[in-house]
Amino acid sequence: MKISSMFSRRFAPILFLTVLVPSVHGASNSAARVRAFASLPDWSGVWLSAAWPLEVSGRVPGGEAQLKEMLQLIRPPPYNATWQARYDEAMKDTAALAARSATFKACTRSFPALMEGPWVFQVVVLPEETLLVFESNQVRHVYTDGRAHPPDDEIWPTRLGDSVGRWEGDTLIIDTIARKQEPVAPRAWASTLSERAHFTERLRMIDPSQLEDRLTIEDPIALAHPWHITLTFKRVAGVNRAIEYDCAENDRNPVVDGKLVITPP
């Protein structure tokens, strides 16, 4: 074996790792990207829906009454006559409703319910996209690089839908379609809309401690007119990072004989 060959075999990987890899990973942002980033608002921090000022118990201070007052997406949508009739019919079976409600459990939510859920989130603003990263391990990707939604033959309904966005000053305009119509369960906020529902959000910081999300929902199949909702998020005190929420880690509340119970540790 020639010395030069041995040298190559022995040291080529080291040469690659020490010279080539850093040159790739050390690539600087382009001046254009730096300028784009510098023009974007700073929404760093940890945020939580104003409807969920949770206590150590995992409940809100005012219990059910407070939630009914604060949560907006649980209110009846402005259905058209056909969908309203179905809704009214479903309201009659109070026994079934009570049973479903008593055993309700949830670790994730679909959009837009996720925006009014009990989990903290962070907003990562980049030139190409804004990410809303939730404690529930769900992420909304809002692409702001000018792309359109996928064409009809490349899109299908999902729980969070497909979102694209654009900036108007310090306001992020988010356009979401293809939201999956799920089998509805208690607290499945606004899930009972058709898969033609179209969501437009205007997300902005109204002061250093609050974000505001003006949401308009249009649905030519289910709604009589657009549904306007304003959601507010509060900067969370006392935490400087997102904390893992692994719902399966130690779930001691199984449903037994139609009721939630507590199991031993």
CB contact set of 41 (below 8 Å; sequence gap of 6+)? 125, 170, 204, 205
Q: In the complex with other proteins, which residue's Cβ is closer, 87 or 143?
A: 87
In whole angstroms, the minimum distance from the beta carbon of 262 to other proteins comes to 4
Rounded-to-integer distance, Cα 260 and Cα 265, Å: 16
C-beta of 120 vs 164, nearer to other proteins: 120
Q: What is the smallest separation between the CB atom of 91 and other proteins, expressed in angstroms?
A: 4
| Amino acid, single-letter form, for residue 18 | T
Choose between 73 and 164: whose C-beta lies nearer to other proteins: 73
Residue 157 CB partners (closer than 8 Å, separation 6+): 178, 179, 180, 181, 195
164, 147 contact by CB (below 8 A) = yes
Complex with other proteins: residue 44 or 230, whichever CB lies closer? 44
Q: Which is nearer to other proteins, 108 or 171 (CB)?
A: 108
CB of 202 to other proteins, least distance (A): 21
Give how far Cα 214 sits from Cα of 7, 230, 252, Å. Answer: 64, 4, 37
200 and 184 in contact (C-beta within 8 Å)? no
* 157 prior amide bond cis, ω within 30: no
Burial 58-80 (b: 16+ CB within 10 A, else e): eebeeeeeebeebbbbbeebbbe
Measured from the CB of residue 188, what is the shortest distance to other proteins in angstroms? 5
Q: Smallest gap, in angstroms, from Cβ of residue 210 to other proteins?
A: 11
Nearer to other proteins, 161 or 163 (CB): 161
Closest CA to 125 of 45, 221, 10, 14: 45
Smallest gap from residue 53 Cβ to other proteins (A)? 10
